[in-house]
């Protein structure tokens, strides 16, 4: 963090405090919080570790699909698959099937394309990988919805309800 800048409004409030020791302690707490947050993000969300190319998932054209990109995705998400020779075989089969596919296939939405391909039993490892990637939630909307519903049920009048009662109200 550059020069302990926490925003103009915060800086103004800190300067208006009469006790400079209190202001210094607050600033130190802000710095600690910031450092802890950055450390957490770097530990759990290292963007540099993510595979750089996931274009292959879209099945736009044969040119966007390469064994190396698929292997990197597998190595990141499912390391046990990335070392198998069958992943190369499945990638080669995928490319050959896409080369021979009709124009109507390329007009399908992405989920339908994969569904058509996975009707073929020859894609066991690729199927696991694609299912894993598509099952990663893109947001926490579902969880927030549950919290919102819980909050509506758990009012001041009902704050003594047991968890099982609230659970049954939500269902």
Per-residue pLDDT of 29-76, as tens digits, reads 988 988 888 888 777 766 555 556 778 988 988 888 999 999 988 988
Write down the pTM of the prediction: 0.54
Instruction: Give the DSSP letter of residue 41.
Output: H
Please tell me the predicted confidence (pLDDT) of residue 126: 93
Collect the ranges in the chain with pLDDT lower than 50: none
Please tell me the predicted confidence (pLDDT) of residue 17: 86
The alpha carbon dihedral of 56, 131, 146, 38 has a sign of negative
Please tell me the predicted confidence (pLDDT) of residue 45: 66
Residue where the block lists tokens 């659970």: 167
| Composition of the chain by helix, strand, coil, percent to 5 | 70, 0, 30
CA pair distance 153, 148, nearest whole angstrom: 9
CA pair distance 65, 151, nearest whole angstrom: 46
């Amino acid at each position: 963090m550059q020069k302990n800048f926490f925003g103009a409004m915060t800086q103004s409030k800190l300067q208006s405090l009469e006790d400079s020791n209190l202001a210094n302690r607050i600033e130190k707490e802000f710095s600690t919080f910031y450092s802890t947050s950055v450390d957490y993000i770097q530990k759990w969300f290292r963007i540099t570790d993510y595979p750089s190319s996931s274009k292959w998932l879209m099945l736009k054209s044969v040119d966007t699909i390469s064994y190396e990109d698929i292997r990197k995705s597998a190595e990141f998400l499912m390391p046990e698959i990335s070392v198998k020779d069958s992943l190369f075989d499945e990638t080669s089969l995928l490319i050959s099937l896409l080369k021979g596919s009709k124009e109507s296939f390329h007009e399908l939405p992405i989920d339908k394309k994969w569904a058509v391909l996975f009707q073929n039993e020859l894609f066991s490892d690729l199927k696991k990988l694609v299912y894993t990637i598509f099952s990663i939630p893109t947001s926490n909307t579902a969880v927030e919805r549950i919290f919102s519903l819980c909050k509506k049920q758990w009012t001041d009048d009902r704050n003594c309800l047991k968890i099982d009662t609230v659970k049954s109200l939500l269902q």
